[in-house]
A = this chain, B = another copy of it.
Amino acid sequence: MTSEADPTASGDPLSPRELAAWRGMLRVHARVTQVLDAEMRDAHGLTVSQYEVLLFLGDAPDHRVRMADLAARVLLTRSGVTRLVDRLVDLGFVERCAAEGDGRGAYAQLTKGGAEVLRAARRTHLRGVREQFLGRLDDDEQEALGDAWLRVLGERG
């Protein structure tokens, strides 16, 4: 795959630059998600995944979304989404309803209570993301990150 004379051959240890770029992301991700999760839990009794479901529902037409679409958005499998929605139904923030055209399908739909908690949770989340992450970067750095993610995600797949 890589040339056998490649100076950055597969087996070579990571250079300091590579290490900083790679392990830095791991550390930042771990720390930021942990803080955001704790804040969301303390303030609203939600996990970040649950919040993201509510968010997606809130932005969708009629506040309802097919389960599979939810899974794609939240970076979970279908089974994960099933149980995530289960919990949100138990909490009263979401209800299931059948898809008219498709007897297999099911929508998750935001309830009134869900919309309320979403409004509050959105503030918490945005504040957290800015405090823990975006606020520590200037515009150019944010731009550079966005470009980097596109390259990593785009080049194949």
Contact = CB atoms under 8 A, between A and B. Distances in A.
B136 A151 contact: yes
11 contacts: A10-B123, A11-B127, A17-B139, A17-B143, A20-B150, A24-B146, A24-B153, A25-B25, A28-B152, A137-B151, A144-B148
Number of copies of this kind of chain in the complex: 2
Contacts of A24: 145-146, 148-150, 153
Contacts of A141: 21, 144, 147-148, 151
A146 B155 CA distance: 21
Secondary structure at the A interface, as helix, strand, loop or mixed, is helix
A33 to B, nearest CB: 8
Interface residues of A, number: 49
Nearest to A146: B20
Interface in A17-58: 17-18, 20-22, 24-32
